Structure 1
Amino acid sequence: MTPFRDLVHPAAGTALISEWITGTAERTRAAADAVAEEWAAGEWPSALLSQHVFRATDGTGLLFYAQWTSDEEHLTWARARRGALVSRVDALVPGIGRPGLHRTRLHRSVVHDGGRPPGALAVTRTTAGTVVAAPGLLAAHVHLTKDGQESFVVEEWADAAFFGAAVRTGTRTAKRYTLHHSFLNDHEGEAV
């Protein structure tokens, strides 16, 4: 798995995090593949630096992490083009739940072991934005919402067993994801 820190674009003015609830592993994969096809076939806005699509390992949905040059550029594109893209995906996978989009900015990263590739990725939504060390935690990346009231912590774990142990001990309540596709600002989609 690609380290999350390698997915962070240095020119990003905003990082958008959103979740799609699909319900089953089959619907999750179908929605992820439909998004990948739409991005591969469509015209990329120059302000979109990267788009990463993660599948929940429990099969219940997708997590999107998009980096744009600014919120204004994203809003301009969304008003003009997002509806068409989403409606084509919805035609293939109807009934996707979309609880909302979160505008964030990478606040800080804590890297405990930068030499090992992660075996698991987890995302926690919290108000504290704290990073709690745990065995097997390689790195954590804290994203703050624009108002500073919420944070999303993206964690890189050595493997799923370490993450599972942290969940069992009650130190983590995050959801685990795996990277499905990455689209980079060079307009060439890279399927992972």
Structure 2
Amino acid sequence: MPVASDAPPDFGRSDVEAVVVTTASLPKPNAAELADTVAARWQAGPWPAEQVALSVFIGGDGTSVLTYAQWSSRGALEESLRDHGSVSWANAPGALLGEGADSGVRTTGPLPFGIYRTVRGTAVTEENPVPVSFPVAFFTMADEASAAAWVDGLLSAEEENEGDERAYPDAIAANFHVSLDGTQVLVLSEWLSAEAASQHIADVWDPILAHFGGDAGALYRHHTTLNALEKTAD
């Protein structure tokens, strides 16, 4: 049985080749209830041998849930997603609640990603800072080359406007993911406070995205992380 933890995921795990992300938008602010249901379903197992962790996040307004599952094998993840009866589909938020016009639930995914680039802030000097706010944004792309070029261009524009030091108060890191088919970019950032994250988005990213297209998405908070027992027992 997976082990539950209050600690948010380690986005830079060396044993992770790919991740799969799902989101659910709800008609009422009952995201915590859904998050508990998702976590309980995953904790009951069994897990694929190649899945090492699953983290559940809740939107700041209580109307959205995001799951972030880390896999040690890209091939195993892709095989899982080809099977619509696999745990990746059966345990997704939409499958547990039912989505569609009647339920009011809207979902995306499961979508497989790999981390393309991570940039870190320099103002936070703690050795192991614990983020409490996670800005999340998705952007549609034409293909993998376009996605990589878009991320590189976005970060170059930020450096041109703000400098490359990235000494933003309370900023830990921004993790830029590209979907395995190249059609999506996911940006998932880590912050010590929601207030600082919101201010940074307004001051830095909203003007840049006005040129590049898209919006800065939404703020999430961590709900729980489940770690595969065989990966955590030493």
1:181 maps to: 224
Instruction: Work out whether residues 47 and 87 of structure 2, in 8 Å CA contact, stay in contact via their aligned partners in 1.
Output: no
- What is the rounded CA distance, in whole Å, between the counterparts of 2:111 and 2:39 in structure 1? 21
Give unpaired runs (5+ residues) of structure 2.
1-5, 140-146, 159-165, 207-215
Runs of 4+ in structure 1 displaced over 6 angstroms? none
1:148 maps to: 182
Query: How far does residue 38 in structure 1 lie from its aligned partner after superposition?
Result: 1.0
- What is the rounded CA distance, in whole Å, between the counterparts of 2:8 and 2:222 in structure 1? 10
SS of the residue corresponding to residue 100 of structure 1 reads: strand
Query: How far does residue 170 in structure 1 lie from its aligned partner after superposition?
Result: 6.2
2:14 alignment partner, one of 10, 16, 28: 10
Quick check: which one's helix share is greater?
2
- One-letter identity of the residue aligned with 1:21: S
- What is the rounded CA distance, in whole Å, between the counterparts of 2:51 and 2:185 in structure 1? 22
- One-letter identity of the residue aligned with 1:46: A
- One-letter identity of the residue aligned with 1:33: D
Instruction: Identify if the C-alpha distance between structure 1 residues 167 and 185 changes in structure 2 by more than 3 Å, giving closer, same or farther.
Output: same
Deviations 1:81-135 (A, max 9, x none): 45554587227xx543113332110112111246243231111223532344473
Query: How far does residue 139 in structure 1 lie from its aligned partner after superposition?
Result: 1.0
Deviations 1:46-74 (A, max 9, x none): 12111111000111111111112223342
- One-letter identity of the residue aligned with 1:48: Q
- One-letter identity of the residue aligned with 1:101: P
Quick check: which one's strand share is greater?
1
SS of the residue corresponding to residue 53 of structure 1 reads: strand
SS of the residue corresponding to residue 148 of structure 1 reads: coil
1:66 maps to: 69
Instruction: Identify if the C-alpha distance between structure 1 residues 186 and 90 changes in structure 2 by more than 3 Å, giving closer, same or farther.
Output: same
TM-score (norm 2): 0.67
SS of the residue corresponding to residue 171 of structure 1 reads: helix
Deviations 1:132-156 (A, max 9, x none): 4473222111111123343111111
Query: How far does residue 177 in structure 1 lie from its aligned partner after superposition?
Result: 0.7
- What is the rounded CA distance, in whole Å, between the counterparts of 1:14 and 1:65 in structure 2? 10
Instruction: Identify if the C-alpha distance between structure 1 residues 39 and 100 changes in structure 2 by more than 3 Å, giving closer, same or farther.
Output: closer
Give unpaired runs (5+ residues) of structure 1.
none
Q: State the percentage of identical aligned residues.
A: 23
The structure with the larger Rg is 2
- What is the rounded CA distance, in whole Å, between the counterparts of 1:187 and 1:56 in structure 2? 30
Aligned-residue CA RMSD (Å): 2.9
Instruction: Work out whether residues 21 and 97 of structure 1, in 8 Å CA contact, stay in contact via their aligned partners in 2.
Output: yes
- What is the rounded CA distance, in whole Å, between the counterparts of 2:36 and 2:57 in structure 1? 11
Instruction: Find out whether 1:33 has 2:36 as its counterpart.
Output: yes
Instruction: Identify if the C-alpha distance between structure 1 residues 9 and 178 changes in structure 2 by more than 3 Å, giving closer, same or farther.
Output: same
Instruction: Identify if the C-alpha distance between structure 1 residues 152 and 110 changes in structure 2 by more than 3 Å, giving closer, same or farther.
Output: same
- One-letter identity of the residue aligned with 1:140: A
TM-score (norm 1): 0.79
